[in-house]
Amino acid sequence: MLVMGVVNVTPDSFSDGGLWDDAESAIAHALQLVDEGADIVDVGGESTRPGATRPLVTDELGRVIPVIEALAAAGVTVSVDTMRAEVAERAIAAGARIVNDVSGGLADERMLPVVAASEATYVAMHWRAHSHNMADFAVYDAEDGGVVSIVHAELQARVESIEAAGVDRSRLVLDPGLGFAKKPDHDWSLLRGLDVLAGLGLPLLVGASRKSFVGRLLGDRGALRPPTERDDATLAITTWLALQPAPVWGVRVHDVRGTRDALAVVDRLTRPPLVEQRAKRAHSRDQEDRG
């Protein structure tokens, strides 16, 4: 399971907006995440929290391009978190190897051609509307199979459109879109139903870190637990994902060190004991000798 560390170069992201909203601090934070074990650093210049106002494209470019250039020059695998084709194109030219598009190509008609013309991996998320009104679209009728079945069908439709635009399937990753046009019960159902989404035959990226459905679960008397106090619960989700039969390609997280620690524990506990490994090797050598 790959670990994607979040770098929000924004003043208004829900969990850490303003902490790394200039290039110097964002680069330093990204390099720290790499030191802590991040396989990928996801650099975003637009907050997609509920109710967020979109920045000007010039502002988004000014936030992310200097950071991407510096990180790519340092050998970091960089993902750009954007819904805009112009930002994706400039980011790829600056060294980004992944385009993480929360709209799955629906927000900008040029996005898919831009990705198709590149060699970048494309993460397509389940999405229905922009942040300012996405709550109005959090409706998944049981008559239509419920949220898991509907998200599966809508992602399948996006896959067909993305492939038709020329993006090879080998470069495609899907994201169920936790928290985007979803109510908390929808998010928990999607986590439990990842095996169904895995049936689409493509890698899955899960972004549960510090999301409001976690804060709602942990909050007292209906209040939300603050975002920075949701990391322990996020680690529990990551640990649970690592133990599921349906493999997850990656997790997008804020707490990289904690995530790496949790995955190390899961790996150690699920690895065959050393004595068993030695016995298997001895048995294999014995079979070879007899052959």
Catalytic positions, please? 211, 252
Closest by alpha carbon to 3, among 268, 271, 226, 241? 241
Q: At 234, list the tokens.
A: 């996020």
Separation between Cα atoms, residue 10 and residue 20, nearest integer Å: 7
Backbone angles phi, psi at 178, to 5 degrees: -55, 130
Task: Select from 179, 127, 117 the least CA-distant residue to 158.
Answer: 127
Token pair, residue 17, equals 């907006």
CA 283, CA 270: separation in Å to the nearest integer? 21
Q: Which residues contact 209 (CB under 8 A, 6 or more apart)?
A: 6, 15, 230, 231, 234, 251, 252, 253, 254, 255
Q: How far apart are CA 237 and CA 27, in angstroms?
A: 28
CB 146 within 8 A of CB 153: no
**Is residue 91 packed enough to be buried (19+ CB in 10 Å), middle (13-18) or exposed (0-12)?**
buried
Calculate the alpha carbon distances from 177 to 70, 186, 260 in Å: 29, 10, 23
Give the Cβ contact number of residue 189 at 10 Å.
17
Residue type, 61: L
Q: Which tokens belong to 180?
A: 């985007």
Written as six digits, the tokens of 51 are: 């109710």
